[in-house]
Amino acid sequence: MTLKRFWILTACVCLVFFAGISAVLNSEKTLVRGYNADLDEILKGDRSGKSLTIYTADNIKIYEKIYQQTSELPKEVPDDLFYMAEFAGENLFTCDKPDSKASRAILDFYNISETGLNNCIVLFTAEKAIARKGDKVSRLKLWSTAARLVEKYGVRKIILAYMEHSYMQNDIWGVEAAAYSYFGSSVRFLTIAKKAWLISVLTLGQMPDDDTPAFYKRKDMLAYRLYLKGLITYTQYSDAAEQPVYKLHKVVNTMPDYTALVLQELKRKGVKTDRQLVVHTNINLSTLRAAQHAISSKLKKYPDGINIAMAVVNYETGGVEALAANNKWKYHTMQMRRQIGSTFKPIVYLTAIKEGASPNELIVDKKYRYNLGNYVYAPANFEDYYMGKIPMRLGLVHSLNNATIHLAKLAGLRKVSRMAVDLGMDARIKPYLAMPLGIFPITPLNLAKVYAAFGTYGIKKEIGFINRVEDSKGERVYLPKEMPRRVSPERETYQVVYMMKDVVRRGTARRSGLIPGTAAKTGTTDEYRDAWTVALFPPYAVVCWVGFDSHRSMGERGTGGGYAAPVIAEFQRLLTKKTEKIDFNVPKGIVFKRVDRYTGAVTGKGCGSKRTYAEAFLEERVPPVCGGRNIAFENVKENTGS
């Protein structure tokens, strides 16, 4: 081969080689220019605040736990704070900056702008954009993406976004959230020392206690950079040498037992606490304190070792406002089951009226004997006292056992037991003859829920601890609830409530101190083991139980009217202040007539009486004036439903 041909061949090879290199480089340049990581919303945070706060009905915070705290930066971020973050991005973080001649040559070749690429915060954000696309990070992709970021948003916005969304320890995200959490104020109002403290947490990724010397060396260095930049005076720099006192968020839980009940209700309703939630409960501290004070003031007058428990339900809101006891309130109001005695009786009278009886109709109170095959059931009245033939109202007002059992048998024992269940009584109510005497044990709270349906005149609502739940925007979170439903007729239920008002005026609670007009029913179990009173006064259904955990007798004074009713009377006095009379709304279709106290006959011209009272009637069933004596269920001998 001649020398000339050799050089020609060499030139051809070189030409092909460099053409190939050029093609590869141009192809790569095209790929780099064409690489397009999604930069939309890249500066937005992917976390939201997660916390649970619980308030009482009177707006007292009783629980707060922050799982994840976030907060937006203010519109005007202090220059000194921003400069420290910018300085940190350029000098304190480690990243793949294009800071060599070779790196800059690559940038020139690919026409990538160097603006902002000396700041690691910009590069960190670019890396996030690439990772979000699911690609591997290379230097060219990183730098080209960072350049596009700067072109789209500018360096300042990128740094501000980083400050707003970076982890600041202790489940806190963002400098502003950290300012509020650690110092209780926005970054706008912090001292230089506190601002430098925050940027130290941002850049070191640790709290002061993790490495105290290194932390405060970083803080002091940042303050010094502000002085060198001319953003603060020497005096300010000197003052910044202080070590700020910061606070760590602690879980607030001032009422742990109530909090546990609220959390259980949230869980039962399927509400997840994986976001920022505010729970407004029905618990009312004023109501609770009144109940606690009433219990403590009466307890010292009763035998040693006795227990008192109260359950207060607001039947208008469907909320449990207070559960209280002298000890173990949760047990005594929600878990302890005791026989409820004569507080069951209004259910009998409600069933009878629903089945067609009228409050003024006569029933016979005497000592009945029921042959049950293998034995004879012969209940006795309190102190073995019997009133004979009386208006039905008196059987309830004076809590007459025999009259009530006989009325239940006439109305239908199965119907009575069904009414008890429909009202919400949580027990296996069997249609026994002794059922009207409250032989089935339930809790005080359950009894209060039952009587809440009396307060609403027959509408059964879901009764709970939670009123509503709101998210971070103050919008209501869906809370599944049972739909209110009617379980007894409105006017007939009112008639029973109206009868119960006489229990306070002239019945078993007449000297208890309950406010006139209160609708009440007392109950006392065998051997004075349990004393009960249930009271209705809008908007409350209140139950009080008094007794020994050991079920021993309290003695002859341990009756519902003697022990339980005075506790509710004291509670009323504290809660209602100067209220002198309780009033109830009267449903449409109810009319009042004067009737003879002993015969129940409607009085008027030609048949007056010195002893009368006002009775509530259904407008379509008002008896004629001077109409004589009507017997309840007069034509019923044996009710097939019994």
Domains contained in the chain, CATH given: 43-48+67-241 (1.10.3810.10), 287-577+584-591 (3.40.710.10)
- What DSSP element (H or E) covers 154? none
SS (H, E, C) 440-502: CEECHHHHHHHHHHHHCCCEECCCECEEEEECCCCCECCCCCCCCEECCCHHHHHHHHHHHHH
Residue with tokens 């005594």: 332
**CA atoms of 560 and 522, how far apart (whole Å):** 5
Task: Note the pLDDT of residue 577.
Answer: 85
E strand or H helix at 221, and its extent? helix 212-229
Q: 548-559: buried (b, 16+ CB within 10 Å) or exposed (e) per residue?
A: eeeeeebeeebb
Asked if 125 and 149 count as a contact pair (C-beta separation under 8 A), the reply is yes
Q: Where are the alpha helices (DSSP H) in 333-467?
A: 345-354, 392-397, 401-411, 413-423, 444-455
In the DSSP assignment, the letter for residue 198 is H
What's the pLDDT score for residue 29?
46
The rounded distance, in Å, linking the Cα atoms of 493 and 419 is 12
Q: Is 574 left (phi over 0), alpha (psi -120 to 50) or beta?
A: alpha
Question: Do 186 and 180 touch, CB atoms closer than 8 A?
Answer: yes
**H or E stretch including 597?**
none
DSSP 336: -
3 state SS of 389: strand
Output the pLDDT for position 30. 45
- The mean pLDDT values, 10 residues at a time, for the chain of 642 residues are 64 54 46 57 76 95 88 92 95 90 87 91 90 83 90 93 92 91 93 95 93 94 94 93 88 93 95 90 97 96 96 97 96 97 97 95 94 91 92 95 96 97 95 94 98 98 96 89 95 98 95 96 96 98 97 95 97 92 96 91 83 93 83 64 40
Under 8 Å between Cβ of 546 and 570: no
Q: What's the CA angle centered on 523, arms 519 and 525, to 5 degrees?
A: 175
Could you give the residue ranges of the DSSP H alpha helices within 92-167? 101-109, 120-133, 139-153, 155-165
In this predicted structure, what is the pLDDT of residue 215?
94
Cβ contacts of 343 within 8 Å, gap of 6 or more: 438, 447, 521, 522, 523, 532, 533, 534, 543, 560
Residue 125 — left, alpha, or beta (φ > 0 → left; ψ -120 to 50 → alpha)?
Answer: alpha
Report residue 85 as tokens.
């973050």
How far, in Å, are 244, 394, 489, 508, 602 from residue 391 at the CA level? 79, 6, 22, 17, 12
Identify residue 264 by its one-letter amino acid code. Answer: Q
CA angle 606, 624, 399 (to 5 degrees): 100
Q: How far is Cα of residue 65 from the mean position of the Cα atoms in its chain? A: 14
pLDDT value, residue 605: 82
